[in-house]
Amino acid sequence: MTTTYRQALTEALREALDRDERVFLMGEDVGAYGGCFGVSRGLLDAYGPRRIRDTPLSESAFVGAGIGAAIAGMRPIVEIMTGNFSLLALDQILNNAATLRHMSGGQIGVPLVIRMATGAGRQLAAQHSHSLEAFYAHLPGLRVLSPATVTDARAMLWPALQDPDPVVIFEPIALYNSSDELPEPDTITDIDTATISRPGSDVTIVAYGGTLRTALAAADRLADTDIAAEVIDLRTLRPLDTDTIVGSVGHTHRLVIVDEGWGRVGIAAEIAAATVEHAYYELDAPIRRVCTAEVPIPYARQLEEAALPSPAAVVEAVHAVVS
């Protein structure tokens, strides 16, 4: 059955709420309004206010409440409206959720899932459009996921809820209206490893989240010039699946990384460093990064598009490393 990325997320929430009475959803406008992006629409009527909880406009407060509920044995799903707003809860996430197991000598786990919209492409301007995945992938104690497909949007939530430690899930804003075949409800998704979305032999293109479709569009264009690009969807940003990247570079010998975050000290920089550490002698050309321009995301559509990684920019980078 064909469905949207948004509907796949909704089905994932329904499955989790049905399977485990300890699961509940909390966040700004998740109840009566149905979620800022419509993901939780209809859930309040189905499950009631005890399990679909609207919260005050205070990210630090409701993330802290989620941490407390997780410690007490519940399985909370906390929705933060956008990645930018998550910074208001960074103290709770870094100094509490990510560290309590370590600071308690393993006695206190925080089985919390935090969902947030990320990225640009909807003309929401700088305070709502940034990709801050690198902030969270930097933190020991967290697992960081970035579902790029309808399948992963549907199937990643349940295994995330089984993790004894906090999991942060980034949902690209630009993908909410995208559609594909919805997997069967019992589809099991591995949240430890990357996947090869398209095999190829001439160059490896690594992407995640909203940039996967950019990478795949570039691979289609490259095929017209007889360049076979292998596209990797990272899926999990922490822990990073270095083995899949190194294995791919081992037979393509070239690497281009597509990252909607900024290039400096970002996900792309980490991938480049890890590849040089583990596969330096496999590289036949310098690694190239295609990242968002080093500016706050503009509001004007033409400026927003110019700031973001594009298929044309990926094709240009691939031609540079192949030639």
Residue pair 157/183 in contact by the 8 Å Cβ criterion: no
Residue 171 amino acid letter = E
**Residue among 309, 313, 308, 311 at smallest CA distance from 296:** 308
Q: Are 167 and 222 members of one domain?
A: no
Residue 228 amino acid letter = A
Q: Are 59 and 90 members of one domain?
A: yes
Q: Are 114 and 168 members of one domain?
A: yes
Q: Are 16 and 153 members of one domain?
A: yes
Per-residue pLDDT of the chain (323 residues), as tens digits, is 899 999 999 999 999 999 999 999 999 999 999 999 999 999 999 999 999 999 999 999 999 999 999 999 999 999 999 999 999 999 999 999 999 999 999 999 999 999 999 998 888 888 888 999 999 999 999 999 999 999 999 999 999 999 999 999 999 999 999 998 887 766 678 899 999 999 999 999 999 999 999 999 999 999 999 999 999 999 999 999 999 999 999 999 999 999 999 999 999 999 999 999 999 999 999 999 999 999 999 999 999 999 999 999 999 999 999 98
Q: Are 20 and 115 members of one domain?
A: yes
| Active-site option among 128, 130, 133, 253 | 128
Residue pair 133/99 in contact by the 8 Å Cβ criterion: no
- Is 278 noted as a catalytic residue in this protein? no
What H or E segment, with its residue span, contains residue 275? helix 267-279
Residue pair 93/116 in contact by the 8 Å Cβ criterion: no
What integer pLDDT is reported at residue 182 of this predicted model?
80
**DSSP three-state, residue 27:** strand
Q: Is residue 19 part of a domain?
A: yes
5-8 long-range CB contacts below 8 Å, 24 or more apart? Answer: 5/149, 5/150, 5/153, 5/171, 5/175, 5/176, 5/177, 5/178, 5/179, 5/180, 6/37, 6/38, 6/39, 6/176, 6/177, 7/182, 8/150, 8/151, 8/153, 8/154, 8/182
Q: Are 144 and 231 members of one domain?
A: no
Give the pTM: 0.96
CA–CA–CA angle 109, 112, 113 (5° rounding): 150
* Neighbouring-strand partners of residue 283: none
* Domain end call among 181, 204, 228: 181
| Active-site option among 59, 79, 230, 270 | 59
Q: Are 35 and 169 members of one domain?
A: yes
Q: Are 304 and 272 members of one domain?
A: yes
Q: Checking DSSP bridges between strand 236-238 and strand 143-145, what pairing results, if any?
A: antiparallel
Q: Are 23 and 166 members of one domain?
A: yes
- How is residue 60 written in tokens? 């630090």
- How is residue 270 written in tokens? 């980490």
Four-CA torsion 274, 276, 279, 282, nearest 10 degrees:
150
- Is 138 noted as a catalytic residue in this protein? no
Q: Are 208 and 279 members of one domain?
A: yes
* Neighbouring-strand partners of residue 78: 26, 114
Q: Is residue 188 part of a domain?
A: no
Q: Tell me the residue range of the domain where 276 lies.
A: 195-322
**Total count of domains within the chain:** 2
Q: Are 176 and 282 members of one domain?
A: no
